[in-house]
Structure 1
């Protein structure tokens, strides 16, 4: 919070006092907790891990909302919480308007929330999700008992490597934005929210404020890099590690982006008569923005032909690769589902054949299949429940459905007159913001991590 305080103080904005006060309050509470638990011996268990991750994200959301609520924005507590949750979960949907005239300290704080949330998410996936056998497929080799098959010997080393990866990508992205013509402050903010596939902007028009194709090309490149597994970049620098590692989801994800991007560009070129270069640039930009769950926009794609919306809607669902900051259903699960369907067809043709299902070098076990089916069911149940809850609060069906789907997948924008790319979430009632905040948190933590806390068995002593 001291960084936004410095920026506001330099701009002679009184909100620097708010950031200083919030920082002092949070530091005091943390100091009291540290003193109260000093000398305690903590035994990390799987149950404690689930509880810890959920509590950390809840705490981060409240802490992130504190300076927003106390600042001179004059927003409600519900709006502040929604904005903070959208930040730390790297969703990118905003309930704030007037970003162009907003204090720079607040804009920097929003970007910092997304950058820190993105790094924290990947670290959580490495530490917790391999135990679930349903998330982070590209990281499954970390649970192997063979140390030579691990990426790095200790988790602390892996966490440090992740920070260096995202720090390096952020620096490169900021430099590329600056060289492409973006101002320094905007370049730094957009770099933090591009690399983490988050989507907060410093302008109401998002990247549509910049008409420079070079800026959109930079965004396309780094959104794509941010949606790839983080371990991919670490393995590049490890001797012979990259050659031993292959993740099917990477090629599938890139293929989906290419096919869907070309299809969307073709729709704009043939049905709208847009110039070929513009059709390719806007088609790929908006497709990559949605499928990586970043949420940047350049124009209102709701005005495009229905065929274009038919291409963008699946992108809202698919998401990026497991082991990245991107949300959505995740490509690794699609690969496993395709393997299951193909195997089922082959068994129908050859009932007595015996085959091993594999995901890359990893065997697909019955436990993984069971967890995947549970995840799919819970994913759909959350979207339906969120849609019902929001329609009961007076939100139109299209906005309620796409908003719930966007929140669970941590995408950002949705479809409809309220929350489409030309609008934001400020028009939604406070109750709907609470619903979406819950869905964003549950979706960001891969659903099971949070919902398992609601099980009575979780709290029983074993």
Structure 2
């Protein structure tokens, strides 16, 4: 990695920060309209961010280097850190009185669409702060790279390569022209968000709640404007089913949605990972609904409504909760714990390990078992009708191995800060998978992360970034090889 490439990556990040400063004017306007003094906080944050970004952009302006994988890795990391720091600034100086660790945690949780929060009393917080959290989640839903796609072609550094690095999408680009793909991607994302907001509004939410929850539903982020999360709407099955449907859509690969919506490619919906994703959503939701019907004697439709909502929320790593599902019984808790690992599809707004990796891992396992019987056989690993090459196989195994190692390391670090076993283990897991709530009395669906020590919040913030950037994208920049010429 040479100085020219590093300088260019910093320059692009600074330009992107200018757009973040403009976004801060939206919550400033909302607070000003409602007569809340925090509008000055967002206005000042916008000015500080813009001034710093202009200074850095001017100092690093120069020729853009040729596109390369290493440049892409560095750019992805810098853009995410830029957004994390800029997002934390108005939270730090607002009336919330958050520490630096708490403001950074809240910002990282938002942009990584994790949905964990350290803020209590959300129902009474300034509307600008609530809107800012939702905006950060909406922007983070498709990733900083997806939202910055219009910048990269303008700066003549491509864009497709870096988007695939961030999203780990194994699909080829669905359009020959990148600009068409980017416009379609953002257009569909925005239209789905508007459709979700309208449905919420018609189902009985206030306009402000509908807008905020639509942004955090489509981004599979899960931050709410209420302390009770969707428990606020637990008595409205229509709202719960609307959220379930849109969370599920958010967990689908957007490249497939583009092919389906723009080109009418119905065959695209036969992607194997969609069947796996839909399969485990249905199995978990129905199994626990039956369990609740038998053990708690709840009406089946009511049990299915809450089971489907909460499992789709966890599997898509949204993190909404309609009730304290940790009180549903041992089987339900075990199922929720397993569901935390799963995630949505590749190229979606969801986190987690993701369905396609489970497919490839299953094929590798079956291949290994066949090799035990027929040692000299040559068996091709397939994903649907495509052959999975050695590089993809290696990437899947490397990711899953790194995931469990880092999960264990973060859990140990959290334990060292004084957290109990359940909080440390599930806190580490929920951060790595970008789910939001963990298990236990402290960070479970009925709690939050406010009482954790600042050291725990720093560790969790790093884990959330690692999980959202699919681990390897972050780890690679800490290797000596990456920085060698």
Indicate the residue corresponding to 1:458 in structure 2. 482
For residue 252 of structure 1, the aligned residue among 263, 273, 276 is 276
Indicate the residue corresponding to 1:419 in structure 2. 443
Question: Do the aligned residues in 1 keep the contact of 2:117 with 2:449 (CA within 8 Å)?
Answer: yes
User: Using the alignment, how far apart are the partners of 1:239 and 1:303 within structure 2?
Assistant: 46
Q: TM-score, normalised by structure 1?
A: 0.94
Shift of 1:162: 1.2
SS of residue paired to 1:252: helix
Q: Give CA deviations for 1:172-192 in whole Å, capped at 9, x if unaligned.
A: 000000000000000000000
Shift of 1:131: 6.0
2:424 paired with 1:400? yes
SS of residue paired to 2:211: helix
For residue 50 of structure 2, the aligned residue among 21, 27, 34 is 27
SS of residue paired to 1:128: helix
User: Using the alignment, how far apart are the partners of 2:435 and 2:268 within structure 1?
Assistant: 32
- Alpha-carbon distance change, 444 to 214 in structure 1, aligned in 2, over 3 angstroms: same
2:179 paired with 1:156? yes
Counterparts of residues 225-304 of structure 1 (less than 5 Å): 225-239=249-263, 241-243=265-267, 246-304=270-328
User: Using the alignment, how far apart are the partners of 1:428 and 1:9 within structure 2?
Assistant: 33
User: Using the alignment, how far apart are the partners of 2:461 and 2:111 within structure 1?
Assistant: 11
Question: Do the aligned residues in 1 keep the contact of 2:145 with 2:162 (CA within 8 Å)?
Answer: no
Indicate the residue corresponding to 1:127 in structure 2. 161
Indicate the residue corresponding to 1:112 in structure 2. 135
- Alpha-carbon distance change, 430 to 356 in structure 1, aligned in 2, over 3 angstroms: same
User: Using the alignment, how far apart are the partners of 2:427 and 2:267 within structure 1?
Assistant: 41
- Alpha-carbon distance change, 158 to 129 in structure 1, aligned in 2, over 3 angstroms: closer
For residue 95 of structure 2, the aligned residue among 48, 72, 80 is 72
2:231 paired with 1:208? yes
Counterparts of residues 274-423 of structure 1 (less than 5 Å): 274-423=298-447
> What RMSD, in angstroms, separates the aligned Cα atoms of the two structures?
1.8
Shift of 1:156: 3.1
2:159 paired with 1:136? no
User: Using the alignment, how far apart are the partners of 1:269 and 1:302 within structure 2?
Assistant: 16
User: Using the alignment, how far apart are the partners of 2:309 and 2:398 within structure 1?
Assistant: 33
SS of residue paired to 1:426: coil
User: Using the alignment, how far apart are the partners of 1:109 and 1:440 within structure 2?
Assistant: 19
Shift of 1:42: 3.1
2:86 paired with 1:53? no
* Structure 2: 5+ residue stretches without partners: 1-23, 150-158
Indicate the residue corresponding to 1:168 in structure 2. 191
- Comparing 362-371 with 221-230, which one deviates more in the overlay? 362-371
User: Using the alignment, how far apart are the partners of 1:155 and 1:382 within structure 2?
Assistant: 35
User: Using the alignment, how far apart are the partners of 1:417 and 1:232 within structure 2?
Assistant: 39
Indicate the residue corresponding to 1:148 in structure 2. none
- Structure 1 segments of 4 or more deviating over 6 A? none
Q: Give CA deviations for 1:1-20 in whole Å, capped at 9, x if unaligned.
A: 01100110011111101101
Indicate the residue corresponding to 1:42 in structure 2. 65
- Comparing 156-165 with 188-197, which one deviates more in the overlay? 156-165
Shift of 1:384: 0.4
- Alpha-carbon distance change, 207 to 239 in structure 1, aligned in 2, over 3 angstroms: closer
Shift of 1:347: 3.1
SS of residue paired to 2:443: coil
- Comparing 102-111 with 341-350, which one deviates more in the overlay? 341-350
Shift of 1:242: 4.5
Indicate the residue corresponding to 1:441 in structure 2. 465
Question: Do the aligned residues in 2 keep the contact of 1:119 with 1:162 (CA within 8 Å)?
Answer: no
Shift of 1:350: 3.7
Question: Do the aligned residues in 1 keep the contact of 2:145 with 2:163 (CA within 8 Å)?
Answer: no
Q: Give CA deviations for 1:353-401 in whole Å, capped at 9, x if unaligned.
A: 4332111233112222222111111101111011100111011110110
User: Using the alignment, how far apart are the partners of 1:435 and 1:404 within structure 2?
Assistant: 9
Q: Give CA deviations for 1:255-278 in whole Å, capped at 9, x if unaligned.
A: 111111111111111112112121
Question: Do the aligned residues in 1 keep the contact of 2:142 with 2:348 (CA within 8 Å)?
Answer: no
User: Using the alignment, how far apart are the partners of 2:230 and 2:168 within structure 1?
Assistant: 32
Question: Do the aligned residues in 1 keep the contact of 2:341 with 2:353 (CA within 8 Å)?
Answer: yes
Shift of 1:447: 0.3
* Number of equivalences: 450
Shift of 1:241: 4.4
- Alpha-carbon distance change, 244 to 14 in structure 1, aligned in 2, over 3 angstroms: closer
Q: Give CA deviations for 1:295-316 in whole Å, capped at 9, x if unaligned.
A: 0011111111101111111100
Question: Do the aligned residues in 2 keep the contact of 1:247 with 1:360 (CA within 8 Å)?
Answer: yes
- Alpha-carbon distance change, 275 to 51 in structure 1, aligned in 2, over 3 angstroms: same
Q: Give CA deviations for 1:221-279 in whole Å, capped at 9, x if unaligned.
A: 00000000011111014446443674210011101111111111111111121121211
Indicate the residue corresponding to 2:38 in structure 1. 15
User: Using the alignment, how far apart are the partners of 1:379 and 1:355 within structure 2?
Assistant: 27
